[in-house]
Amino acid sequence: MPKWGYSITEEELDPEKTVKASGREVRVSHKSAREICKTIKGMMLIRAKNYLKDVMAKKKAVPFTRFKKKAGHRRGLEKAYAGRYPVKAAKHILKVLEGAEANAEYKGLDTERLRIIHASAYPGMKIKRYIPRAFGRTTPKFQTLCHIEIALEEQTETIEEA
């Protein structure tokens, strides 16, 4: 069994005030997961959870800044014009976020003062499958899995967000 590491180093984290959680080889789009992670990084935990629930209910769009070629315009976006509602990726990122919250409760941290200091998603392994076609040919049907990492830090004082 592989031993997974994190893309954030231990020197950057204070072990008494931070918690980590990850989802490995998750069957979601790494492009959508990357855009969600970029959006929620820096948010307080409660706000990020509400944001992800709004994305799943298709009330708020996720701004797509990198993977935006055929993404339509969405109203209410800041710093980007293109956006989407990646429901499946939001559901899995919310699950990882709740795992990090459970780790914080186990450590004895105050969940009201937790801020997301690290959120990343990157491609994992490929599941290679093939569709048989006519005349003895095949068409590849590859699926790229995704790794999701979340790190939370307890803030010394509650910071009000606009």
Q: In the chain, what are the domain boundaries?
A: 18-154
* 18-154 topology per CATH: Ribosomal Protein L22; Chain A (3.90.470)
**Tens digits of per-residue pLDDT, 8-62?**
888 888 889 999 999 999 999 999 999 999 999 999 999 999 999 999 999 999 9
Please enumerate in sequence order all residues whose Cβ is within 8 A of that of 106, keeping only pairs 6 or more positions apart, or say none.
none
pTM of the model: 0.90
Percent of the chain exceeding pLDDT 90 equals: 78
Rounded Cα–Cα distance for residues 62 and 119 (Å)? 15
**Tens digits of per-residue pLDDT, 58-80?**
999 999 999 889 889 998 888 88
How high is the pLDDT of residue 14?
87
How many CB atoms are located within 10 Å of the residue 12 CB?
Answer: 12
How high is the pLDDT of residue 9?
83
